[in-house]
Structure 1
């Protein structure tokens, strides 16, 4: 059941259905794959692939615009250091939205019978569906970004209803959380509609001729704080318990069983809390969409949760409306008997998420390590399980020491079998390990993972404090380093820093717990990007047998030696070896001056832009038919691929202002201009009217807009404006001065992905990693050079960068590869390169200029540079660094 050999590591890569994981040997892929997956998923993956490859034909204009904005438009997000980074949605998130939109727009799914058309198993029947309304379930591994899927689905429904005349979707949303912890997390993302604007959920105004941001008018209501001011434009964010109606309303902080309010289970008995009757809300609105997070709870037609949603649907039916759509997201959409929800339309399994480093890799003790552990003969719980607890603490301590170097706190989690033993373990940890004294958080849960207060009798204030402590345990300010519980909180407890799980109890199917849920709270990653992270899992034989059953889901569990004297299973940490007695850090340190930038952009010059001096080749103005004029197609100026289309309304009336605004925003975004939109818009308007085409044009004409969508016109406009703006606004100060210094010894520790490295003797760093094999070879060469005192890799964490103007005329930053310290108070900056690109001469010219500037303003150290190309380095094999500098390939600039 291994992954397909061609399965990619990048979670953003579009996945072909033919390489997706399924629970059988590779030899059965051709004959049995579609019958061994969630019954609807196999056929839908292929249909959605065709839908995607065909440019979303069949989708409404609104849906196609949003899909192209989310997944086919580059999104640059500003960073705190002033640089920009590209944001991309995971493919799992993309496929989920594409599937939902395909089913609604193209297939026109109304009910279970429409969904059953995609059954590949032949075993799905109508009585497997309890609901009578439109419901789609998305299965996504914990940590793969389910909340982002909810935000995209919400935005799509809102705009679809707003812009599409016949839409049956909604602009009111009931977002349901299974417990108060999940609600807290969603509220943090949704507060102030932050998630919708921090992520590129909402398109820019002008994209495809719509004012998306101006039109996105929504009010967020949380729990009882509901103030309906409009019939549309409401998000009702609520704990599942507030959805119950009549006598079924449970779980208030004022309840006798108030622990259930904390993590939610349906209690018996009355409540004195004033609840919001969502039935009343439904009577005031005509449209509603339900979005469920961690939705495996809502699966049984006998439960009040399902009955409440059914009641809302029925009330809407009485008004001539209906529940527009229910979207559920969960990592484990399974019934108590293990059968998957038949409504599952998209699936990103845990095995794929682990392979693509979206979540942590579970690591278990190898056979030799497990053989050293045993349950002792003792009536005292902690004495009986001392081996497992001690091993867990050892593994946690090793991880804690490594992560602490980069300012992260590792968390230990221990699961027991009842609340009394939970307290025993907490006392054992605090009494036997000094570093855990006062650092253990105890949370009592029932056997099924729901919070219980039967043994603790905690009051509301204490529960709120517990809730806050559990949510903030990742923070450095939190005193807690370990959590002990009857079970890890079942869902919603999105702590990222769990590095070690210790299980002291076994689970059975009767407890309704899956191994994915047991491991789930420890799978969320601590670090962004594709860095491999690990969670060590240890425990009794019965517990380990339960955990290993996850292999049926295709997860290959890694095993390694654990205990004293073994290496920690953590990401690579690069740090300055201040405690290495064999290294003289003072001698190995390299100091680099930080110069003020020479290049800058003078924004006030934008008004001086002369559109008549572009010297461009004018674009022929073509005459299009009325049908051709209705479809405006925009293409990527570098690849020619279609990025998005605009269909003009049936009256043929188009607004050129939106199209010109789109061009202005594109130019500003690519040049990172922060002001000047009004000036630029006016320049583009005049350019299109008089200079772009081979004749004067009428901007109000639909034919002009159709001409503007041609690749030749788009490329001519954007490229010439970028070139002219750069030439006008990018200036060279002509001088630079030292404003600060960087010392390698002050570099903060950082983590990096698992890769080859060299352990250096002549560097302050503990490891030298290379972005290429050439860099590792070159580092080894520096180690062997007797005329090299010290050297260092110029990691991003060093923060040594030089501004330069790239081949496109933009101001950019250049990070040289190596810093080399020589005996005669010389420091040489080295650039290594396998293949030369168009920016290399510009970088080297700027590096030469930087050295000249430095040497002119100070005389303590002489700075020089050398360019090392791989072909010459391998061909001539210099014997010393001086030979490299004097006789090698110092770049001709």
Structure 2
């Protein structure tokens, strides 16, 4: 079944349960429903939507604060280029946390009986649940951000236990990885608690009256370096094999079978190396929450994974507690028979992740291309599969060339059936293709994804180097361009640059491998944002048949011609067109002077802010009941929707400082002020106390705080301060001088979303992308204008921007649409516009001023501007650029 026609493109948009993917009847004829849909999810999605729409009614104060901070509060984070950009969690991440909190806070779901009430299949029974503790499983497609979900769940558990008197959660966390590779990846994110501060996981101090940052006191303990000094505030990051109980002894680099150390397979023999016993550690703590990454192994009560966690729970039970919660995250929470874990409470399937460009789009050879491939009659493995290897290399080379323009390195991944053939393929690739010489990394694995003994005997240093090579293969400085492995690293090897997979083996339904796990190593995206990326999948008929079985889960596999002479299936790259011999790049280049900023903000003026002179309308000071006074409600200024609520404690102690701090921080965030909090806090306090309501009020009064939660008060405070601060601090220097020059031919290549474009003759770029129909129409018009020597779409990569004061009085950057150079050396800056907004006249006035400044600073090239509105352009249909420039002389709004 195809996705609902209203299914949104953005992964940030809230998804209504009625438009989520659901298997069609045709799919169920061959595949049981239990293998496609988690039985609890459909009902939970509806309940969680109601929970979200209600403003999180029923959640604890701590949970409400965190949910509103994470998902309803704007977050501006610094970028590599020095600018600020808004950060948003994916909806799949949001829904996972909302579901967990709904089940814990609202429903009090403690065990299988509580979860079974959400069964919509009628097939769930108590016997399907092995655990006796609280366990929630989150199913998320590879690359959708499971580690972020773990970090949010951890922070929630910590603060809930800290702030909620009757909380059954914990401030100690056992963070389990299935192997060393996954552990390395998690450690990189959690080291120094980096992820918690780089992402807006921890609320600012003062948010809803809590000192979140000060109270977040955690120590990360890695594997065998556990040194517990505090009874709470510990994260134990460990490979699962370190938690095995009894006779199960973890592998080490000194074992005879050292390859087990690499991926963490439990050895059957002994070892003289003593490692930390986490079972002993949990005897000394009273609270523990378990977080499992890549948790699809924990599916059988007979397996050591489950037994180990059960053992820890039982030890805590003996002390009068038990595991507070177990949260598992995985793309494939499935049993060996393909059935999804019944404990799955949230699901973001691969079909939805592909549709929203969260992961790459798998692409297969079309029928004509596959017909050209044949398994040759040869006992030699590489001769037998030469056609498939050759096609894989051809596809990889095309991708490599395109991504290299962006400074990225495409990776080829080849899967074989045993270690001997793995070595043969590596030697074949290096000996046959010069560009792969000394560039193939060999990783031996068994059919179940664990490393084979084929490389046993390696020294610890060699193994560490192999791990390092595998983890750093994306890095441009890494010499490796291809990886050959027996099957694959089943989980954990989550590099981003795999663009081509070649499968030279078949799979059986009885194997523990799933199609999504097979594709998973290549699904992670190379580029941020919503750019479409592609994963070319090549292989034997049996392999392709196996991969295509994922279509039962709604994934629509794209097929395209492959091989020599076909175009690469890669993101659209826009670059200076050096390949076209008919283009004279010198003639098509345009130089744009860069002026010193004319508009600037004078931060020191904040102290001069006179709150008594604000031209606001006084807000009516209302009298609220005692019950109403206990509720402090904050609403969105524009929509009036409740963003968060603070309920004061029973003593009725009103802390106005946190409310004033909230307003101060919001004003600074909106205006992107980087300093002056103390000065501004005092101004906000004075304004609220003496001017907002037209009279002096008591800030300590609970009634005052309730008044401040009203939309009129909130809006007046924020808008009055932003208007006054902009008027006071935004200055115009009155002139500008040329400090640099932008040359279009120096623009670096960049990728764009799949969209309409034209291949130009009068532009030095290889494509002109149209963000609207008008832009494409205008580009086509310029192609036909004989007066035009050159033109270019002003892409962000060009870095041509003009500072201006927007309708709110703040400093913004304006990016004009086109730069046009005429044969008489005049240069026009062109703005095309379909629907007008409040900033259009301000942009046009600033553009006029910018042209005057340029012309005053130099006389070689005359700069001018044209405003092209869609209605007039379509109505009058100018025949030449001179006609356009004389008719559309200036903005006439």
Q: Do both proteins adopt the same fold according to a TM-score greater than 0.5, normalized to the shorter chain?
A: yes
- Tell me the residue number matched to 1:757: 757
Per-residue deviation, residues 648-688 of structure 1 (Å, max 9, x unmatched):
00000011111101110000000000100000000111111
Question: Which 10-residue stretch deviates more, 552-561 or 115-124?
Answer: 115-124
- Tell me the residue number matched to 1:639: 639
Alignment map for 1:478-489 (pairs within 5 Å): 478-489=478-489
- Tell me the residue number matched to 2:740: 740
Question: Whole-Å Cα distance in 2 between the matches of residues 641 and 534 of structure 1?
Answer: 39
- Tell me the residue number matched to 1:246: 246
**Cα drift, residue 541 of structure 1:** 0.7
Question: Whole-Å Cα distance in 1 between the matches of residues 214 and 719 of structure 2?
Answer: 29
Instruction: Provide the secondary structure at the position in 1 that maps to 2:510.
Output: helix
- Tell me the residue number matched to 1:135: 135
Question: Whole-Å Cα distance in 2 between the matches of residues 620 and 222 of structure 1?
Answer: 57
Q: 1:574, 1:752 within 8 Å by CA — same for their partners in 2?
A: yes
- Tell me the residue number matched to 1:690: 690
Per-residue deviation, residues 474-533 of structure 1 (Å, max 9, x unmatched):
110001000001112111111101000000000113331111100001100011111111
**Cα drift, residue 86 of structure 1:** 1.5
**Cα drift, residue 27 of structure 1:** 12
Per-residue deviation, residues 336-355 of structure 1 (Å, max 9, x unmatched):
11111111111111111111
Question: Whole-Å Cα distance in 1 between the matches of residues 78 and 225 of structure 2?
Answer: 34
Question: Whole-Å Cα distance in 2 between the matches of residues 542 and 148 of structure 1?
Answer: 36
Instruction: Provide the secondary structure at the position in 1 that maps to 2:247.
Output: helix
**Cα drift, residue 82 of structure 1:** 3.3
Question: Which 10-residue stretch deviates more, 250-259 or 165-174?
Answer: 250-259
Per-residue deviation, residues 725-778 of structure 1 (Å, max 9, x unmatched):
010011111111111110000000000111110000001100000111100000
**Cα drift, residue 71 of structure 1:** 1.1
Q: 2:55, 2:643 within 8 Å by CA — same for their partners in 1?
A: no
Alignment map for 1:178-193 (pairs within 5 Å): 178-193=178-193
Instruction: Provide the secondary structure at the position in 2 that maps to 1:67.
Output: helix
- Tell me the residue number matched to 1:849: 849
Q: Tell me, which stretches of 5 or more residues in structure 2 are unaligned? A: none
Alignment map for 1:83-232 (pairs within 5 Å): 83-232=83-232
- Tell me the residue number matched to 1:418: 418
Instruction: Provide the secondary structure at the position in 1 that maps to 2:731.
Output: strand
Q: Tell me, which stretches of 5 or more residues in structure 1 are unaligned? A: none
Instruction: Provide the secondary structure at the position in 1 that maps to 2:225.
Output: coil
Q: Does 1:521 align with 2:518?
A: no
**Cα drift, residue 264 of structure 1:** 2.1
Instruction: Provide the secondary structure at the position in 1 that maps to 2:643.
Output: strand
Question: Whole-Å Cα distance in 1 between the matches of residues 539 and 836 of structure 2?
Answer: 53
Q: 2:27, 2:552 within 8 Å by CA — same for their partners in 1?
A: no
**Cα drift, residue 823 of structure 1:** 1.4
Instruction: Provide the secondary structure at the position in 2 that maps to 1:388.
Output: helix
Alignment map for 1:48-447 (pairs within 5 Å): 48-447=48-447
Question: Whole-Å Cα distance in 1 between the matches of residues 602 and 7 of structure 2?
Answer: 48
Alignment map for 1:592-631 (pairs within 5 Å): 592-631=592-631
- Tell me the residue number matched to 2:543: 543
- Tell me the residue number matched to 1:706: 706
Per-residue deviation, residues 15-36 of structure 1 (Å, max 9, x unmatched):
111121122249999xx99996
Question: Whole-Å Cα distance in 1 between the matches of residues 159 and 798 of structure 2?
Answer: 45
Q: 1:623, 1:703 within 8 Å by CA — same for their partners in 2?
A: yes
TM-score (normalizing by structure 2): 0.98
Instruction: Provide the secondary structure at the position in 2 that maps to 1:522.
Output: helix
- Tell me the residue number matched to 1:454: 454
- Tell me the residue number matched to 1:566: 566
Instruction: Provide the secondary structure at the position in 2 that maps to 1:510.
Output: coil
- Tell me the residue number matched to 1:786: 786
- Tell me the residue number matched to 2:776: 776
Q: 1:22, 1:33 within 8 Å by CA — same for their partners in 2?
A: no
Matched positions, count: 891
Per-residue deviation, residues 525-561 of structure 1 (Å, max 9, x unmatched):
0111111111000111111111111111111111111
Question: Which 10-residue stretch deviates more, 769-778 or 42-51?
Answer: 42-51
Q: 2:249, 2:267 within 8 Å by CA — same for their partners in 1?
A: no
Q: Does 1:824 align with 2:824?
A: yes
Question: Whole-Å Cα distance in 2 between the matches of residues 124 and 733 of structure 1?
Answer: 71
- Tell me the residue number matched to 2:19: 19
TM-score (normalizing by structure 1): 0.98
Q: 2:36, 2:340 within 8 Å by CA — same for their partners in 1?
A: no
Question: Whole-Å Cα distance in 2 between the matches of residues 15 and 636 of structure 1?
Answer: 21
Instruction: Provide the secondary structure at the position in 2 that maps to 1:246.
Output: coil
**Cα drift, residue 50 of structure 1:** 1.1
- Tell me the residue number matched to 1:41: 41
Question: Whole-Å Cα distance in 2 between the matches of residues 25 and 304 of structure 1?
Answer: 38
Q: 1:34, 1:120 within 8 Å by CA — same for their partners in 2?
A: no
Q: 2:333, 2:340 within 8 Å by CA — same for their partners in 1?
A: yes
Question: Which 10-residue stretch deviates more, 697-706 or 11-20?
Answer: 11-20
Instruction: Provide the secondary structure at the position in 2 that maps to 1:632.
Output: strand
Alignment map for 1:472-483 (pairs within 5 Å): 472-483=472-483
- Tell me the residue number matched to 1:718: 718
Question: Whole-Å Cα distance in 2 between the matches of residues 624 and 505 of structure 1?
Answer: 72
- Tell me the residue number matched to 1:728: 728
Question: Whole-Å Cα distance in 2 between the matches of residues 26 and 356 of structure 1?
Answer: 24
Question: Whole-Å Cα distance in 1 between the matches of residues 78 and 810 of structure 2?
Answer: 16
**Cα drift, residue 5 of structure 1:** 2.2
- Tell me the residue number matched to 1:512: 512
Instruction: Provide the secondary structure at the position in 1 that maps to 2:409.
Output: coil
- Tell me the residue number matched to 2:589: 589
**Cα drift, residue 76 of structure 1:** 1.6
Instruction: Provide the secondary structure at the position in 1 that maps to 2:117.
Output: helix
Question: Whole-Å Cα distance in 2 between the matches of residues 504 and 684 of structure 1?
Answer: 68
Question: Whole-Å Cα distance in 2 between the matches of residues 153 and 585 of structure 1?
Answer: 54
Question: Whole-Å Cα distance in 2 between the matches of residues 118 and 837 of structure 1?
Answer: 47
Q: In 2 relative to 1, CA 34–483 (structure 1 residues): closer, same or farther, beyond 3 Å?
A: closer
Q: In 2 relative to 1, CA 113–450 (structure 1 residues): closer, same or farther, beyond 3 Å?
A: same
